[in-house]
Structure 1
């Protein structure tokens, strides 16, 4: 609370100083009218250019009365340009302003319509939704009108080289170990439940998503699969503007509001969103056979889970261009994500020995589990440019405090008995504190040789308490079990430094090469657990060659590291299903990834583009969930029979060899097709099974078609398919989902309404997951409720953004860059 108080005071102080500063500047006012009708022209753009430097220094747009006002201008001589679609541009030169001058009133400015009537003009250019850059693919979600009613998880499904399954698990080029960032900064909210976090960020707040498959040495090395950076919308238009988004549906409801205020070189933005996945029932069955010598046990479980999820997010931020070369950016955010599952299961268990029945039982289990996290994160970013182009200093401090809280309960009763005979309660509250401090400096040695260097410190402190209670059949009460309860204290510190160079070789090749060094120390206060410190040298390079017709080739290599997250190291044993127990593993070693990529990209004049990549990913100390069967399993003073235990383990080495093709094709002026195709061969060498090798081939494909109808009506269809694939202990099923949507814009495109249908002809997605070990075979059949219908409404208010050059003092990139 002290931090919030000081931050709020700091925002007020900055606002006061900025507003006071604007009073010392000069002012220009005016009014823009149509020459023929004498009617005001709304949204005409006004640009002010310094005649000495020929740079645009500020600008604005006209209001509903055609009036405009520009303040905070320093003395000088300027050119003022007035422009609007369908009118001839007007330029006023040699506008001189001196210190102490009164406000300059330009009075009425008349614009004449162009020679061609507006209805004869055909706009052929379109804002690119997908951009191929040297080290990443950028998906501009703000330009994808039909995606605005969903959540971040829905937008990710459309990002090239990214796949999302029906449970919200995300992979980048087939690798699930991804570093997720928001506005280039990490957050503890991703460590507890990634699916909950991604399902609670409204798509309407997302400006773009960067899929970075070849991160350079400047980037944080966490995430063997690469980095996904979610950039939220910002706005640098003078005055007040914002948006409201509401969505109602059969499975998902959400609402969000964004508010932006800018005066001269100081801006404040705030947002709030609420999201809820309505209660849905997920039927499931398990048919499991286990063998112990001559004894065979068959377990049949038939039941359901009622699942629901909710999330709330709020935040405030500011950006202050102190002068033309210095900026200060700050943000404060609050997140609260929750989920709950209530289950009922009928259990039949039979035991045979040598084919002769020995025993059988019928059991009923009632269970529930709850999880969530309350998280507060904040950041302060100082940016400084120097006289040389690209010479920059960037200092970033970011931190977060997350309070994950998970619990479960289960009670079992024999079908022919009235009272339960066993049960367990578990509660694991915790705290996850993260602090990141980084300093980056870029220095251009020559125009074609850039050197970048920096240092970073990451400090993470996790504290978890597990309170376990066991049901006593004789007393009918639960009592605390000290043999299962524990306290975990986990501290990780990462110290990193890097050096990177960007240069041209023989005026032929563009090269970006560098190396990063990271030292990691871990202290853990858990019985019989010790983790030694380790060091990692992480080289990277990208070599590219540009050709005519907007074509380029690249060859990239990156070495990455995957350290376990909160839910992976927490040893808490979840007994909500006592026949299928899951737990974390505090002894996990970091996974190391060596990634190679050969890519070709081309952009076309009609707005189309294509990217083709061959990639090879080699992961050592590969981390995967691993299931082991136990005829009897001891936890504290309790003994469990016929149990499978799934814990994440360092399996061995995984090889992923693949081909990825993505592209966008405007077939006509109204029809656009975007598609992604990825084929991956996966080979895993399992050191836990004496080098046993598992091979599997996986195909993934999605297609998005958008059709622009008259009167601002847009239709869209989207389909996503992933084939089945062999895993180290069984098989993962195929998945197919599809969406149909249309959106109508009105009120001069300030508002829109959309209707979306997801899998409208199938209530469930049928999944059969196979797990096989030497003495264990399990078929889990899950019916995932996925059909949904929704309606959304979006309204934008205030001034609209217009295309312009750099604003006064704004020589910094608006979208936050990824931290190192």
Structure 2
């Protein structure tokens, strides 16, 4: 691969981050003192004596009050801070909606295992909700056995917008202006909310994420190798968004207005009321966006004919999304939840197309033609959710049931006018129309049981159905029906023994996918997974994982009928494709020091019968994109990640990936086997300037990357966010600019034995958004204090 000087110049800041870390030197070793002491305790709600999960516990040294370590509580409310030196300390406990707790001074002896003899009971903060930010000291990123966890709850820059704004702060994710995600260069990313598919059933993930406020997000999990607990579909991995679990009672809400350049606007309001027995929530959002989607292409056929096209497109989207939810806390061990959401979308495409056809040998003036095209889409959906959780008397044992059903419909109309040339009075007109309907249902049951002190056993099953109908008026032979049924069951065991952590799982899925055309497939698959973690030392850890995943042909891959805006650049479905499987081994090395965390990932993927979009020529020499199976692809990569804090107000998180891809063709396809190298990376910088504002900058760079039939050009862009609290910290204002330097250009080159094709996209990338978010409400206590139970262990102190 030929790297241009410009490529290296743009990527230089990425390499500097890794070459010059912000510590004095790793060669200047400090005198080590024994770190064998630990502090253990439990955090509960003062009124209900219920365990508080995700409470932040921070320990400080005396007399300098320096932060030494921090952790969060588990689902039982327990915390453990290990590897402490002998000395004097105090600790703080913080949890959103509760009053902070500061301990008395304590002294730890060498090798002392201190267990607090009383659970620390936090009282609900009854003041107005004026503190929007979680003031805990959790690291932005931490590595767990099977995932990377990003704690975004205290990020002011991300809390000022929607969930999509949160995802843009995570270095490993690439998020475009419309909320579409890429991870490790792939867009085949599955999005979950609280580990479930139910809230995103039958709707666009980007629409949901753009409508939910960022302040509701506690953390984001990136799972490159999903365990057997998760649905096996996909290939790039999972982005799991964990919402905040606010257990305090009271009324709260927020409202926001988001205004963007070129007539973009969004309004959103969400409310919740928690009474202890019944909890209610509701939200409504409206979005009205317009984007430019211009592009141009050149096509050389048999080295004789040259066809150039240019498109200028305006794309409009108006979305109404309403949601209502209710939780019924039957008792301490049983919770029943209901959720209803409705979405209405109107889309408009308006395009002007210009075509030039040239016969190179004849040198005759190019033949020019024009097309006006428009397409309107009306879409509405209803989504119904029910969830039930039962906690058994035995700690760590529970069962959860999730059920969801969605019913949506869409009407799509297109109108096209073709002109011979700019002076011609002749014009032909054509149109198309189809109605689409989808009914999708899901039932998921998960069971969990603790095994000893550090282990757990999990099992469950899931049933999912998806039925889609495309109906074309009069021409009934073009109607298209798609039906997918998935039955799955899994079991997995996890635990820890000494320095070794482990998780082993097995998932079985039976798939039945058919259409009213020629596609009809049913098959049984088994998906093993394992994750191993070994602690080499206090600050070094090694992980090894493996997962198998599947990508099934969806309705878009299979649908043979699609309306056509651009007659020269079409995209059609095919019935002649099949599912493919991805095998994903990965090795991870983690190094932590006081200020810096390095993570290195070495991974390899084998995708057999991989589905790719391939370009070909139809009988009229127009290019057509069609999904086809190629023989296989090999994908190898090396990730280098580094997170560090320069000081109390400035932190940086960065990554750099080098990869190698090889595409294997088949005898039926025109392109040859090919391979190439590429690299991409990003840097996210967050500066909290005291008494002024928070500024967050993210730079993302992709080198020239190989694709099955050619390559895509390098891309580079910078996003900038400024945020500040106002109105006595009850509100946040922010300014976010996507693609600050308007440098994001997308282009691809493809070829086969007959043609050479190049497509250049010029989307509207540099977009500025101003957001105002106001938080309001009041928290209160409604139940009397219950007698709290205390735990007594080997050596205890009342601190």
TM-score by length of 2: 0.77
CA contact (8 A) 2:171 2:698 kept: no
Shift in alpha-carbon separation, 1:684–1:166, aligned structure 2, 3 A: farther
CA contact (8 A) 1:571 1:584 kept: yes
Deviations 1:587-633 (CA, angstroms, capped at 9, x unpaired) = 43122111111113355556x54432111111112111111113x2x
State the secondary structure of the residue aligned to 1:665. Answer: strand
CA contact (8 A) 2:404 2:441 kept: yes
Shift in alpha-carbon separation, 1:341–1:386, aligned structure 2, 3 A: same
Give runs of aligned pairs for residues 123-138 of structure 1, distance below 5 A.
126-138=137-149
Alpha-carbon shift at residue 221 of structure 1 (Å): 0.9
Shift in alpha-carbon separation, 1:322–1:196, aligned structure 2, 3 A: closer
How many residues were matched structurally?
Answer: 673
Residue in structure 1 matching 2:749, options 770, 777, 797: 770
CA contact (8 A) 2:171 2:653 kept: no
In 1, distance between residues paired with 2:786 and 2:644? 34
Alpha-carbon shift at residue 512 of structure 1 (Å): 0.8
CA contact (8 A) 1:459 1:492 kept: yes
Counterpart residue number, 1:545:
534
Give runs of aligned pairs for residues 205-354 of structure 1, distance below 5 A.
205-251=216-262, 252-278=264-290, 280-291=291-302, 296-351=304-359
Give runs of aligned pairs for residues 148-547 of structure 1, distance below 5 A.
148-165=159-176, 169-186=180-197, 199=210, 201=212, 203-251=214-262, 252-278=264-290, 280-291=291-302, 296-351=304-359, 355-356=361-362, 360-371=366-377, 373-415=379-421, 418-467=424-473, 482=475, 486-504=478-496, 507-526=498-517, 529-547=518-536
**Bigger CA drift: 146-155 or 258-267?**
146-155
In 2, distance between residues paired with 1:808 and 1:401? 48
CA contact (8 A) 1:296 1:351 kept: yes
Deviations 1:649-689 (CA, angstroms, capped at 9, x unpaired) = 12221111111233321101111112122222111112243
Deviations 1:507-527 (CA, angstroms, capped at 9, x unpaired) = 34221111111111123212x
In 1, distance between residues paired with 2:681 and 2:694? 23
Counterpart residue number, 1:619:
607
Alpha-carbon shift at residue 192 of structure 1 (Å): 7.2
In 2, distance between residues paired with 1:393 and 1:613? 34
What stretches of structure 1 of length at least 5 have no aligned partner?
1-44, 60-81, 90-105, 110-122, 468-479, 633-640, 810-820
CA contact (8 A) 2:529 2:546 kept: yes
CA contact (8 A) 2:739 2:767 kept: yes
Counterpart residue number, 1:696:
676
Alpha-carbon shift at residue 402 of structure 1 (Å): 2.7
CA contact (8 A) 2:202 2:406 kept: no
In 1, distance between residues paired with 2:509 and 2:146? 21
In 2, distance between residues paired with 1:496 and 1:56? 33
CA contact (8 A) 1:712 1:746 kept: no
CA contact (8 A) 2:337 2:388 kept: yes
Deviations 1:355-392 (CA, angstroms, capped at 9, x unpaired) = 23578522111112344642222221111122322222
**Bigger CA drift: 719-728 or 222-231?**
222-231
CA contact (8 A) 1:192 1:567 kept: no
What stretches of structure 2 of length at least 5 have no aligned partner?
1-42, 56-96, 105-122, 127-133, 789-799
**Bigger CA drift: 684-693 or 379-388?**
684-693
Shift in alpha-carbon separation, 1:161–1:55, aligned structure 2, 3 A: closer
Alpha-carbon shift at residue 237 of structure 1 (Å): 2.0
Alpha-carbon shift at residue 88 of structure 1 (Å): 9.3
Residue in structure 2 matching 1:789, options 758, 768, 774: 768
State the secondary structure of the residue aligned to 1:181. Answer: strand
State the secondary structure of the residue aligned to 2:157. Answer: helix
TM-score by length of 1: 0.75
**Bigger CA drift: 400-409 or 216-225?**
400-409
Alpha-carbon shift at residue 747 of structure 1 (Å): 3.1
Give runs of aligned pairs for residues 606-685 of structure 1, distance below 5 A.
609-630=597-618, 632=619, 641-685=620-664
Deviations 1:67-86 (CA, angstroms, capped at 9, x unpaired) = xxxxxxxxxxxxxxx99569
CA contact (8 A) 1:191 1:566 kept: no
In 1, distance between residues paired with 2:426 and 2:189? 43
Alpha-carbon shift at residue 644 of structure 1 (Å): 1.2
CA contact (8 A) 2:445 2:461 kept: yes
Alpha-carbon shift at residue 416 of structure 1 (Å): 5.3
CA contact (8 A) 1:149 1:246 kept: no
Give runs of aligned pairs for residues 6-45 of structure 1, distance below 5 A.
none
State the secondary structure of the residue aligned to 2:511. Answer: strand
In 2, distance between residues paired with 1:219 and 1:46? 30
In 1, distance between residues paired with 2:431 and 2:370? 17
**Greater Cα radius of gyration, structure 1 or 2:** 1
Shift in alpha-carbon separation, 1:210–1:55, aligned structure 2, 3 A: closer
**Bigger CA drift: 779-788 or 194-203?**
194-203
